[in-house]
Amino acid sequence: MTYRSGRHFLQIPGPSNVPDRILRAMDQPTMDHRGPEFAELGKTVLYGMKRIFKTENPVIIYPGSGTGAWEAALVNTLSAGDRVLMCETGQFATLWHGMANKLGLETELIEGDWRHGADADAIGRRLSEDAGHEIKAVCVVHHETSTGVTSDIAAVRRAIDSTGHPALLLVDTISGLGSVDFRTDEWGVDVAITCSQKGLMMPPGLGFNAVSAKALEASKTAGLPRSYWGWDEMLQHNAKGYFPYSPATNMLYGLKEAIVMLLEEGLDNVFARHARFSEATRRAVRAWGLEVVSLVPSEHSNVLTAVLMPEGESADRLREVILEHFDMSLGTGLNKLQDRVFRIGHLGDFNDLTLLGTLAGVEMGLACAGVPHNKGGVQAAIDYLAESAVAVRTEERAA
């Protein structure tokens, strides 16, 4: 059979589903990226992304991936041999750590069990020991996509400040921005990193750095080689709405529409919607008798749920069964969690019925694959979503 009716359910934790409005916005002729019309587009998206990052400082947009944005954050602020403090919260924190080593940085890794967020107290203790201020940066993943664990960035900033240490704070909010609250300036983040294919609801292809004044000052003396990733030329051209090299013009059309959509809904409403979906998903998981990876309730992700399989059961086989029978893709387990977990993405352009379809696919897949579980997960989610929808409507009418 070559044709499958209905739409494919892409429920991985990114790339997320691209709304029709964004697809239509991208479906335009590519304009002259040195012309006056482009300058208006450039200024619009650069300013709009400041609102999404909640910053008054510059946001830099690269034609590139989140991995490229990681590299940009490191090479613009640090020199070979600089010491950086990193936290092992999952696969993406591990990959960022590996990149830092490849770039010639001296890394210290606060080890973790992949079930908890960054340990702010451990960061504070290590910085307190660093009387000579050899540590130049602290690198933390805000929303660990491999585990569904959220780190408390405000607590990390408080820990740094309590020691009086001058280290920069670099934060990966790749799967968080646009889906959960992120306050770049309020939390004292020096470089915030994201990309286009998560909460911004776009295809892969854009990477972002939101850059503090302190980070810009550090970039003046940073010694790691950089050309494509350099902030200096970017900022010179961005001042007039342009870029130093050919930008991903049609992606910027889509980004403009994505910003409009997020602000049209209202960021607080976006965050509340994601919180509802995550709670409904966890209720389904508990009803199935399964366990989420994240152990601390305050650290549970609002953009994805990583679910542990029962002992001896294969998450990859379950994912294959669900794809074959119900045309739905779920996220795989990565590294230490390979074949042990499946990940349900519930982020971006997503509503109650999309979530219920997703959870129904999982529950049917568990049955088809013969995975031991209890029935009733979907019903538990329905009950919660219905009750919370009524509560939201009641509050709206009262307002």
Give the CATH number, domain containing residue 336.
Answer: 3.90.1150.10
Q: Do 190 and 312 belong to one domain?
A: no
Nearest alpha carbon to residue 254 among 28, 63, 8: 28
Nearest alpha carbon to residue 211 among 31, 19, 73: 73
Q: Do 198 and 278 belong to one domain?
A: no
Q: What is the CA radius of gyration of the chain?
A: 21
The pLDDT, as a whole number, for residue 394 is 65
The pLDDT, as a whole number, for residue 214 is 98
Nearest alpha carbon to residue 211 among 233, 179, 185: 185
Mean pLDDT in runs of 10 for the chain (399 residues)? 86 96 97 97 98 98 97 98 98 98 98 98 98 98 97 98 98 97 98 98 98 98 97 97 97 98 97 97 98 98 98 98 97 97 97 97 98 98 91 64
The pLDDT, as a whole number, for residue 399 is 60
Cα distance between residue 160 and residue 168, in whole Å: 9
Range of the domain at 326: 266-398
The pLDDT, as a whole number, for residue 393 is 63
The pLDDT, as a whole number, for residue 396 is 63
Q: Do 218 and 106 belong to one domain?
A: yes
DSSP per residue, 87-121:
E--SHHHHHHHHHHHHTT-EEEEE---SSS---HH
Strands 143-144 and 149-150: antiparallel
Cα distance between residue 315 and residue 317, in whole Å: 5
Q: Do 280 and 242 belong to one domain?
A: no
Does 270 fall in a domain? Answer: yes
Domain edge (last residue) among 224, 240, 263? 263
Q: How many CA atoms lie within 13 A of 113 on its CB side?
A: 6
pTM here is 0.95
Contact at 8 Å (CB) between 304 and 344? yes
Give the CATH number, domain containing residue 35.
Answer: 3.40.640.10
Cα distance between residue 261 and residue 263, in whole Å: 6
Q: Do 270 and 259 belong to one domain?
A: no
Question: Please, what is the angle between helix 120-129 and helix 153-163, to 10°?
Answer: 20
The pLDDT, as a whole number, for residue 3 is 83
Nearest alpha carbon to residue 348 among 12, 3, 80, 75: 12
Q: How many CA atoms lie within 13 A of 228 on its CB side?
A: 9
Residue 183: Cβ within 10 Å count: 15
Nearest alpha carbon to residue 286 among 359, 347, 348, 367: 359
Contact at 8 Å (CB) between 309 and 371? yes
The pLDDT, as a whole number, for residue 392 is 66
